[in-house]
Structure 1
Amino acid sequence: MPADIFSALADPTRRKIVEMLADNDGSPVSDIHNQFQVSPQAISQHLKILREANLVQVEKKAQQRIYRINTEALVELEEWVLTMRQRWSSRLDALDSVLKAEMEKIKNNHKE
């Protein structure tokens, strides 16, 4: 997974572009630009950052550039997130076990 994927997704405009591309099979730059109230140059810069992060792919058709989401990059991101969730879940499960054992000790000490 490219190291800058999180930086690329940190920007709300870029997240919106990725969401938009996820809903479509491919979108020309003009369609992407029409969804935002920023300059075409700003959208081009956002798309460049998304390309560099490998989140989108571009295909040239005649005079148009068609952007598509790179599902492989999203699968890698999802796998990383699942791994992190599993790590935290196991740590939280271990903490839960320790807390239950401590509560049981306290409970037993009050009975004596």
Structure 2
Amino acid sequence: MSENNQFRDVFDAIADPTRRRLIQLLAEADEIPLHELTAQFQMGRTAVSKHLTILKDAGLVIDRKVGRETRFRLNAFPLREVQDWVAFYSKFWSANMMRLNQLLEEEEE
């Protein structure tokens, strides 16, 4: 991460399947403690914490301390960038699929 860019890229953050699974788990709950998240993976607490730090750097995760426990919740707003990017290409694929459908219909005639 460069000094000029204080936030991690959202696309980089969601590129890893473990982080996508963490996002899914956080989306399904209001807030989850670290030990409950760790129990969902075949890796240690430190590894899960590193993934959560990457998500946090991208603005996708918010954490708070409750006593000695750290709880995490999803901030889905940065995923809007991904949604907008995918929507652009969705239009592209829709147009191409319509053209393909027309070609196949013409071939059948």
When normalised by structure 2's length, the TM-score is 0.73
Q: Which residue of 2 aligns with 1:106?
A: none
Query: CA 1:3 to 1:50, structure 2 compared with 1: closer, same or farther past 3 Å?
Result: closer
Q: Which residue of 1 aligns with 2:25?
A: 20
Kindly tell me the number of residue pairs found equivalent between the two proteins: 99
Unaligned 5+ runs, structure 2: 1-6
Structure 1 residue 89 displacement after superposition: 3.6
Structure 1 residue 43 displacement after superposition: 0.6
Choose the corresponding residue for 2:38, options 8, 33, 36.
33
Higher Rg of the two aligned structures:
1
Choose the corresponding residue for 1:74, options 50, 75, 79.
79
Query: CA 1:20 to 1:93, structure 2 compared with 1: closer, same or farther past 3 Å?
Result: closer
Unaligned 5+ runs, structure 1: 104-112
Structure 1 residue 49 displacement after superposition: 0.7
When normalised by structure 1's length, the TM-score is 0.71
- Structure with greater helix share of residues: 1
Q: Percent identity?
A: 35
